[in-house]
Structure 1
Amino acid sequence: MSKTPKHWFISDTHFCASRPEHIDAFAKLCQLPEAGDSVLLLGDIFEIWVSDDLAEACDLQIEAELKQLTGRGVQVYFMHGNRDFMVGKDFCARTACKSLRDPSPWTLPDGRRCMLTHGDWFCTDEKSYRRYRLIVRNPLFQFIFRRLPKAKRLDIANNIRKNSIKAHRENGQRSYDANAELIQHYFDKYTEASCIIMGHTHLPMLHQNQAKARMVLGDWRDTLWYACADQQRGLCLFEADLKLEQNHCRYRLQA
């Protein structure tokens, strides 16, 4: 009897050299998926990604873990976030990850249809970020950026990081949730989708409204968040300690 596949969902890990404990935790988490499973990385996996030819040592560690996953027969999908929008074809070639458009339809192991997104395009109340997104997601900007000297690209990336930290402090660490009207508009337009799985907001939660649901993945700080779906239990959102010794299902969307 063949094994029922599991689908694993992760976002907003913000991997960087200053948080090596998160990279170690990811290495442990990567031991859980088995051949035939799918791992879906829904954006902001890296704190900042300048370009495929400027990966730092910590980035290469993550690449190595992803390459081991795909080498074991695990399907790995990568979706761009607002921090790693410059991840390109070379990264996917090195890791054997498949690029995933935002948004993308997805079918869970229990047959339920859902939509996967990083989620930032739902956060219309975050006005300063909306202006930033219009610039950095513009194909012309990305075309020009990739052709700048390495030193200039690093300088721009560092300024983006500094401005993000400044804005975060000025907002008093306030998080913006998705716009409820926009979420409802999506469900009204795409009636086949009964669930949205997203990240970006750093507000882990399961929102349910009758037959529709929205699961928000959490970011990685003192604890780490990930979701797992299988045919038996449905879709579960887990919170775990950094050593993955304590895993708690905080929210569950039953099959």
Structure 2
Amino acid sequence: MSILFIADVHLCNTKPKIIHGFLNFLYNHAMQAQALYILGDLFEVWLGDDEKNIMHMTIAKGLQSLHKKKVPCYFIRGNHDFLLGPKYANLCDMILLPDSQVLKLPSGKNVVILHGDTLCIDDKSYQRLRNFLHCQILQKIFLSLPLSMRLYIFNCARTFCIKYKKYKLKQNLHIKLQTVIDMLIKNQSKILIHGHTHQPAIHNIQISENISFKRIVLGQWNKYGSVATINEKNDDINLIHFPLNKQ
């Protein structure tokens, strides 16, 4: 059996093919896993656990099915769904994890997992915005507003964010290698898995003849799903992409 890792599914009502593909993945693949780790941005936007539409309930039912099959599901919040809270997580039978987590494989190896936005330390303006949005007092005030007001604020902010994102794409920002190495050394690990950048790849980082690290970047779900697997018997790691309409 394998441990599965996904991120950046970006579920929303305007993309029914991705919703259908994700549900197929849950029912046909994740059911056979040792565990499923969702590393953020499962949803395109999350304005509070009280916003339960048909899609949210359908996804919750799909995730509940894993629990019924005794497949644990863990969730790390991303930059799109950082307001997802314990009420919805409990509804899905998901276990919420902190922004970064260290997993210990049966072999004893440590694996660091996180969404990935905190690795983009050169984007100073984003990191300041992230710290602001993650202020507990601010979140409490925002979540106390009527849902209609939260939606209005989100729509106003989205216009700015779209322009900002286009600008940042031109800046061609990347995750710094030293940031990854420092995090791995700090956590006594040689493997890091994250999403966020939408640039799926397995990076082998050779420090010296005897020291090497591995960074697995998960892909965004669009026409294809993206999942990393770790075989619990031999720690073999694979990054798999599959068409969502042919599961």
The normalised TM-score by structure 1 is 0.87
Label 1:55 to 1:158 Cα distance change in 2 as closer, same or farther (>3 A). farther
Number of the residue aligned with 1:46: 43
| Counterpart check, 1:235 vs 2:237 | yes
3-state SS of paired residue (1:193): coil
1:123 aligns with 2:120: yes
The gaps in structure 2 that reach 5 residues or longer are 207-211
CA distance in 1, matches of 2:71, 2:20: 19
Contact 2:39–2:194, Cα closer than 8 Å, also in 1: yes
Q: Choose which of 5, 8, 15 in structure 1 pairs with 2:11.
A: 15
Residue 145 of structure 1 corresponds to: 142
| Residue aligning to 1:226 | 227
The alignment partner of 1:7 has SS state of strand
The whole-number CA distance in structure 2 between the counterparts of 1:88 and 1:45 is 13
Cα distance in 2 between the residues matched to 1:155 and 1:173: 28
Describe how 1:39-188 pairs up with structure 2 within 5 A. Answer: 39-172=36-169, 176-188=173-185
Unaligned 5+ segments in structure 1 are: 246-255
TM-aligned CA deviation for residue 233 of structure 1:
6.5
Q: After TM superposition, where is structure 1 displaced by more than 4 Å over at least 4 residues in a row?
A: 172-175
Q: CA RMSD in A?
A: 1.9
Normalised by the length of structure 2, the TM-score is 0.89
User: Is the 1:222–1:242 Cα contact (8 Å) retained in structure 2?
Assistant: yes
Q: Give the 3-state SS of the residue equivalent to 2:50 in structure 1.
A: helix
CA contact (8 A) 1:10 1:217 kept: yes
| Aligned residue type for 2:143 | R
Q: Which has the higher helix share?
A: 2
Q: Is the 8 A contact 1:176 1:201 kept in 2?
A: no
Whether the 8 Å contact between 1:29 and 1:244 is mirrored in structure 2 is no
Distance in 2 (CA, whole Å) between partners of 1:163 and 1:131 is 16
Aligned to 2:209: none
Question: Which has the bigger relative contact order, CA under 8 A and spacing at least 6?
Answer: 2
- Alpha-carbon distance in 1 for matches of 2:152, 2:197: 26
Q: Distance in 2 between matches of 1:228 and 1:75?
A: 15
- Structure 1 distance, partners of 2:101, 2:195, is 14
Amino acid at match of 1:236: N
Q: Distance in 1 between matches of 2:241 and 2:33?
A: 24
How far has the Cα of 1:189 moved from its partner? 2.3
Bigger drift between 46-55 and 147-156 goes to 147-156
Q: Distance in 2 between matches of 1:234 and 1:174?
A: 35
TM-fit CA distance, 1:71? 1.6
Q: What does residue 27 of structure 1 align with?
A: 23
Asked if the contact 2:112–2:184 (Cα under 8 Å) also holds between the matched residues in 1, the reply is no
Q: How many residues in Structure 1 have an aligned counterpart in Structure 2? A: 240
> How far does the alpha carbon of each residue in 1:180-234 deviate from its partner, in whole angstroms, 9 at most, with x for none?
22112223323x2111100111111111123211111011122221111112461
